[in-house]
Amino acid sequence: MLSFLDEECLQIMTRNLESLSDLFSEERTNIMNQRRTKNKEATGMSCLSGKVALVTGGSRGIGAGIVKRLARENADVAFTFLKENKAADSVVEEASVNGNRVIAIQADSGSARELMDAVEKVAKEFGRIDILVSSAGAFLFKPVDEVSDEEFDHMVAVDLKAAFIASRSALKHMRDGGRIVFVSSNIADKKFLHGMSDAILVPSKLGSPRGTNCFC
């Protein structure tokens, strides 16, 4: 039977052993991370090196961030933009620093023909498409009773139909292991907002997978 002192010593030893185990575990993790970093630096390769990516709506916001990140990972990137020529040129300039190719294609994601033409242009330019990121989105800051039929149709076309059109077109040029990523809005998780066009955006965005989802 252990005395009070023996029990206290045993508890202290147990805690010390646990701390030592945690220390070794942390050190092992750090060593593994360092090895991965050294291997990556030694090879100069990323898992996306040589991949071809197409991002819709890539001249600003999340889309532009995705373009830049893909480029940092040494992927060749094409992206579409609606009319922000200066913004598109800026993204191209910033994303082209690693020697990879980055091109901007003016196309309205609300137009099936323009979107399909953009996909075909990327496939012709790079020979294939490995990654598609459907990021383009449309939003109207106006009361619902002021939204025209044309504006409504365009919003649904950009926020919902474009993901389908781009996917169908890109799949023709994808090899095994290709990736399609849908980017939707967190507004799709909110309730209808009284009197605002969010009431239109919500159902159109609910049609796309919430968050960011990848499919092989």
Q: 153 with 61, same domain?
A: yes
Instruction: Look at residue 145 in the predicted model and tell me its pLDDT.
Output: 82
Instruction: Look at residue 10 in the predicted model and tell me its pLDDT.
Output: 54
Instruction: Look at residue 212 in the predicted model and tell me its pLDDT.
Output: 40
Inter-CA distances, 39 with 20, 36, 50, Å: 28, 5, 18
Q: Residue written as tokens 């071809």? A: 52
| Domains: count for the chain | 2
Q: 62 with 29, same domain?
A: no
Q: DSSP assignment of the chain, as one string?
A: ---HHHHHHHHHHHHHHHHHHHHHHHHHHHHHHHHHHHHHHHHT--TTTT-EEEEES-SSHHHHHHHHHHHHTT-EEEEEESS-HHHHHHHHHHHTTTS--EEEEE--TT-HHHHHHHHHHHHHHHS--SEEEE-------SBGGG--HHHHHHHHIIIIIHHHHHHHHHHTT--TT-EEEEE--GGGGSPPPTTBTHHHHHHHHHTSPSSEEEE-
Give residue 9's domain range. 1-44
Q: 17 with 98, same domain?
A: no
Instruction: Look at residue 132 in the predicted model and tell me its pLDDT.
Output: 96
Q: 60 with 125, same domain?
A: yes
Q: What is the pTM of this model?
A: 0.69
Structure tokens at 58: 């890539």
For the chain, list residues with pLDDT below 50. Answer: 1-2, 4-5, 20, 42-43, 191-199, 202-204, 206-207, 209-216
Q: 203 with 164, same domain?
A: yes
Q: 193 with 119, same domain?
A: yes
Q: 185 with 138, same domain?
A: yes
